[in-house]
Structure 1
Amino acid sequence: MSEQLHVLRRCDAVDQNQDDPVFQKITELVPQEFTKALTDAGIGLWLWDVKADQLDVSRGMVQLTGLKQLYRGSRLDVLRDLIHPEDVEAIQASTRRLFEDGVPYETLCRMRHSSGHFVWANTYGSLVRDENGEPQKMIGIVRVMDELTRTKRDLLHAEEMARLGNWTVDLATDELIWSQGVYKILGYEPFSFQPTLEFARKLRAEEDRAMIEGLIDEAVEKSGAFEYRTRVPHTSGKEVHIKVNGAIETGITGAPVSYYGTMQNITAEIQRDEQIRQSQKLETIGKLTGGVAHDFNNLLAVILGSLELAQDDIEDSGVNELIQMAIQATMRGVELTGSMLSFARQAKLKPQILDLHSVVEQTNSWIARTLPENISIKTSLPTDLWPISADPGSTENALLNLILNARDAMAKGGELTIEAANVKIDSDFSFQRNDEVSPGQYVMLAISDTGEGIPANILREIYEPFFTTKAPGAGSGLGLSMVQGFMHQSGGTVQVYSEPGVGTTFKLYFKALSSKIETPSVETAKTRTANGAGFKILVAEDEKEVLEILLATLRQAGYAVTAARSGDEAREIFEADPSFDLLLTDIVMPGSLQGTTLAQLLRKQAEDLPVVFLSGYASEATVRRNEVRSEDIRLTKPVRRIELLEALEKTLASKVEPKL
């Protein structure tokens, strides 16, 4: 600005411009042609009387902005009329920095233009003080849409789009300069303070500081480039992942004089990579767990079937009671298998319309007896909670897991709080929490404790399968993984908030339904008797023990059963005698024919052949859906006898009589 004024004062022509009062105040000797030249160049002048708070603009500003006459008024009023509303505060902030810290005044803002639009403009200003150092006047120049302004505008846009910022460090003075983008990445108001090199160093993650300084020192020594990634704190309290690229600037002698570079916010990229990594991990663990679940369910099928058959032949009530306890333990094993699959999102869920208020009340009625006396329970459950659709058993297991974790966190006692609320999730929720959940209405269920809390470095790992901080034998490390898997599979999410020494809160978000809950009718379970009535069933099952249990169960119920140990053997039997009333087949078997392809092949001979499929675990029931009809029943092993017989009875209901 001083150079501009120097040029003005050196003008030799003497032409007092009576029509332009600002030029009269800035200099008494300004030719009218120079005024026109400034205007044609997209330049306007302004003068602010600080004491009187009076801002005057030049004729060039009048023509640039499309004002009808010379404009004057208080500075804020003039700014509000000429400058885009979003940029006024930035100009005010630059002015404060000039007055308080002597930071050179320069702004890049959008200004009203004669075209009727806002255009980008650069403003430079200089402060005139009196002999006591008090601000008197401020003189400024505005440059509209010149090459420099366009370059700065494009750089600003590029920084915003790429989440970039640039910076420079002077090696002689250690002066650090940040662009607007760096301030924004860290959450600060642009140019709200002058950063120091020491301040910037302390922003880096502590474990990365020595490595980063080594990279920079080596680059300065060799006049090379450097790159690093680290985490820095955001003013919101969260962490931001950044990528920094730097290079060295050398002087005339070839010695380094500064280093400069860019800072990029890569938090979204890190989150995407983490989601992909987690998805791949779940896929791998899911395949492993699925194989284990298949074999384990086959073992449970043998145990369950044997117990139920034995129960029919034993009249001793004491022994029957023991058998019933063994059956219940077997069914808990089935639930465990489902829980193992849930964190890999492969569990076969059976969603029902639920009222979370009732679920919590029922669970609380018995879980309270398992908690020590030094833990009190507090509930806050509105009666108008929206209904949800979720698997009842998995919902109870998730609640139980979190309650037991809260209990373990309060070894010295404390307060356990269970509360629920109807909430609406907006589009920012998933971005802020790095989770995939669609906006809409949800029912939030929170379980809070006043225990030890979870340190930040552990909080990031709590959903990892098999991760646990408990003593050996005290926990499998699968509990929270199962909860997370179940919630994601149900279309919801789980969030955790914890502060060491204060406590922890887990929040489950269930997708809400618009329909009302209807109370289901209660049916008394009936014990199936021998009602096979001579129907012929072809059973295909490769596991010998499972096959024997199935044969015994079906024959006891009155069915005529023929066994096959593979799909290929079943096809040979059916081709020799296609008079079977129903095919009961495992889905996965050795040989060239799986259960679904076997069914498809046999139906070419008997189009209306009913089929009931058995699967070792849930995902098998989805294999080759094009070969499974909508009326086909799919059961997951182990199957209770009553469920198997009901499925057969339902499937055969359309047949008037057996083919026997």
Structure 2
Amino acid sequence: MSYYHKKDMEQQREEQEEPLLLASKLINLGYYIWDMENDEPIEVSDQHLKTYGVTREEFLAKASTAGGSFEMVHPDDRAKVDAWCRKLEDGKIVEMEYRILNPNGTRWIRAIVRPYLDDAGKLVKQICASLDITAQKSTEEFLIRSQTLESVGRLTAGIAHDFNNILAVILGNLELMAELREKEDVTAMSEAAIGATLRGKNLTEKLLTFGRKTKLNPVIIDGNSVIRDLGEVFHRTIPATIEVETVLAGGLWAIEVDVTQFENALLNLVINARDAMPDGGTLTIESANVRLDDAYSDEYGGEIDPGRYVLVAVSDTGQGIPESDLEHLFEPFFTTKEVGKGTGLGLALVYGFLKQSGGVVQVYSEVGEGTTVKMYFPSKGRLAKALTRPTQEPSREIAEVGRALVVDDDPEVRKVVALQLTSLGFEVYDAENGKSALELLETVSDIQLLLTDLVMPGDLQGSDLAKIAAEKSPKTKIILMTGYAKSAAENGNGDCHSFTKLMKPVQINDLKRAVARVLSEG
């Protein structure tokens, strides 16, 4: 090849590259080409260097491997970037988002890297295009914060509304009881106050389910059996104008769920489907064994892992849901129903239950055609035998009562628990913190029972108090109380998992069962 021919080819190549170079400058796109055999750059663009905030000399000094060393990658993203880079050895094009340590602050990078393998399958070269997406990430975070604030506002308003109604019932009845206690029978008023309190407790449990902090009692079950058992309930709930069809797969794989929550999720979906068909239609409940692949997982942003799942779906031929409402469906207290016809908690509870059960819920809807809600539960394989749900512990009598110590920083809670224990026959002492409780344990003899709040102000938490009391007075039986469902469900909190726990508010029957159980233990 002549010198002039070679020069013409170089000029032609430069002219062809010029539009690409101009385009990369226009959108601030960086790039590099790396020789993997010699582990050195063939080309590094000025924009790539600008994104990293280094000179060419600084970049080459730090870049001991393709595209830049992990020294320039944010520590929290290095393992992720390393995993992506390993895929290049298999000849796969890799897209990634990660953070880098720019001298002026952390920057977000989106990169796409294409590997080149030789005939032997060895990685010999890679080309990377990189884009600084820090501004985009900041905008996304701002939008997420805005949406979160909107959801929190809706949540707060909903809670305030429901709890104010509950408190109104409790307060009104208690005031009437105080005025009429010597004149009339106050049984009806006390029952109304108790009922309102239980509604408040139920609302709290629903919110905890949405937040995935409630304690579940999962067992391995056949989902079809539960659906069949609920058949009578479904038919009582659904008017004659709606036809109900069940399409249940034979040989359905087992799932591990809290049966009560599973039933509640199904009922919520059935009620929603019913309400979507005021003029009648068809409601379909179906189950199936499905295998979800990588492509399905990627389509939903990795929200669900590939693998074997049991699908339980509820479909209707109703009004459908506008696209603008779909993204808000799982927010607590969001509802498309008329005022007074929906709490906005149904789908939020389904969402929280599925997440806590390791599954996922997805909604498909078209206005005027209907809606399908699909629940995916991880498969537990074939069901060897039918398993029954956990049963409530039967009531038992307390064999012998003595002295009890109640510890809680809230004086009203302390007072009501003390009154409950007194009604069971105990001589009750109380303390507002762990330090005072220890002093009573040392000065009052023969304390048979210790009930302490799990989380209290001060250095001595309920878990610490329980351990100290168990060591100093092995005969004293201990029950922990908590208003935090996560604390009650987990086995942590200072190695207190061996102690019995009660969730606040404590009903006297639950207290009686717990006390009878711990006192009956040796």
Q: Could you state the TM-score of these two structures normalised by the residue count of structure 1?
A: 0.50
* Structure-1 separation of matches of 2:210 and 2:491: 24
* Structure-2 separation of matches of 1:343 and 1:455: 23
State how many pairs are aligned. 386
Please give the secondary structure, in 1, of the residue aligned with 2:479: strand
* Structure-2 separation of matches of 1:326 and 1:613: 26
Query: What whole-Å deviation, never above 9, does each CA across 1:311-370 have from its counterpart, x for those lacking one?
Result: xxxxxxx99899778766654543322111222222222223333223223333123223
1:597 correspondence with 2:451: no
Alignment of 1:77-476 (within 5 A): 160-162=93-95, 277=144, 281=148, 330-382=197-249, 384-476=251-343
Instruction: Select between 323-332 and 547-556 the one with higher mean Cα deviation.
Output: 323-332
2:413 is aligned to 546
1:569 is aligned to 436
Are residues 624 and 574 of structure 1, via their aligned partners in 2, closer, same or farther at CA, if it must alter by over 3 Å? farther
Quote the offset at 1:410 in angstroms.
1.5
Contact 2:399 2:520 in 1 (8 A): no
Q: 2:376 aligns with which of 509, 512, 537?
A: 509
Contact 1:387 1:517 in 2 (8 A): no
Alignment of 1:484-499 (within 5 A): 484-499=351-366
2:483 is aligned to 616
Write the letter of the residue equivalent to 2:341: A
Alignment of 1:639-650 (within 5 A): 639-650=506-517
* Structure-2 separation of matches of 1:602 and 1:445: 49
Identical amino acids, percent of aligned pairs: 40
1:637 is aligned to 504
* Structure-1 separation of matches of 2:470 and 2:293: 50
Contact 2:285 2:313 in 1 (8 A): yes
* Structure-1 separation of matches of 2:426 and 2:297: 55
2:401 is aligned to 534
Query: What whole-Å deviation, never above 9, does each CA across 1:163-193 have from its counterpart, x for those lacking one?
Result: 99xxxxxxxxxxxxxxxxxxxxxxxxxxxxx
Quote the offset at 1:604 in angstroms.
5.1
Are residues 435 and 395 of structure 1, via their aligned partners in 2, closer, same or farther at CA, if it must alter by over 3 Å? farther
Instruction: Select between 327-336 and 548-557 the one with higher mean Cα deviation.
Output: 327-336
Please give the secondary structure, in 1, of the residue aligned with 2:230: helix
* Structure-2 separation of matches of 1:274 and 1:435: 19
* Structure-1 separation of matches of 2:472 and 2:427: 21
* Structure-1 separation of matches of 2:481 and 2:286: 40
* Structure-2 separation of matches of 1:525 and 1:654: 15
Q: Please give the root-mean-square deviation of Cα atoms over the aligned residues, in Å.
A: 4.7
Quote the offset at 1:426 in angstroms.
2.3
2:23 is aligned to none
* Structure-2 separation of matches of 1:333 and 1:401: 19
1:478 is aligned to 345
* Structure-2 separation of matches of 1:277 and 1:342: 22
Larger Rg: 1
* Structure-2 separation of matches of 1:571 and 1:629: 17
* Structure-2 separation of matches of 1:607 and 1:279: 53
Are residues 522 and 507 of structure 1, via their aligned partners in 2, closer, same or farther at CA, if it must alter by over 3 Å? closer
* Structure-1 separation of matches of 2:460 and 2:508: 27
* Structure-1 separation of matches of 2:327 and 2:468: 51
Please give the secondary structure, in 2, of the residue aligned with 1:390: strand
Instruction: Select between 320-329 and 598-607 the one with higher mean Cα deviation.
Output: 320-329
* Structure-2 separation of matches of 1:397 and 1:535: 41
Quote the offset at 1:436 in angstroms.
2.4
Are residues 351 and 163 of structure 1, via their aligned partners in 2, closer, same or farther at CA, if it must alter by over 3 Å? closer
* Structure-2 separation of matches of 1:497 and 1:446: 11
* Structure-2 separation of matches of 1:651 and 1:356: 35
Please give the secondary structure, in 1, of the residue aligned with 2:211: coil
Quote the offset at 1:470 in angstroms.
2.7
Quote the offset at 1:376 in angstroms.
1.6
Quote the offset at 1:371 in angstroms.
2.5
Write the letter of the residue equivalent to 1:375: I
* Structure-2 separation of matches of 1:480 and 1:654: 42
Contact 1:532 1:558 in 2 (8 A): no
Please give the secondary structure, in 2, of the residue aligned with 1:647: helix
* Structure-2 separation of matches of 1:526 and 1:604: 30
Write the letter of the residue equivalent to 2:384: K
Please give the secondary structure, in 1, of the residue aligned with 2:472: coil
Quote the offset at 1:488 in angstroms.
0.6
Please give the secondary structure, in 2, of the residue aligned with 1:581: strand
Write the letter of the residue equivalent to 2:217: K
Query: What whole-Å deviation, never above 9, does each CA across 1:586-624 have from its counterpart, x for those lacking one?
Result: 223345433223223434533675421111130232689
Are residues 520 and 445 of structure 1, via their aligned partners in 2, closer, same or farther at CA, if it must alter by over 3 Å? closer
* Structure-2 separation of matches of 1:544 and 1:378: 55
Are residues 420 and 275 of structure 1, via their aligned partners in 2, closer, same or farther at CA, if it must alter by over 3 Å? farther
Are residues 386 and 516 of structure 1, via their aligned partners in 2, closer, same or farther at CA, if it must alter by over 3 Å? same
Return 5+ residue gaps in structure 2 as ranges. 10-87, 98-109, 112-128, 178-184
Are residues 492 and 624 of structure 1, via their aligned partners in 2, closer, same or farther at CA, if it must alter by over 3 Å? closer
Q: 2:422 aligns with which of 545, 555, 569?
A: 555
Q: Could you state the TM-score of these two structures normalised by the residue count of structure 2?
A: 0.61
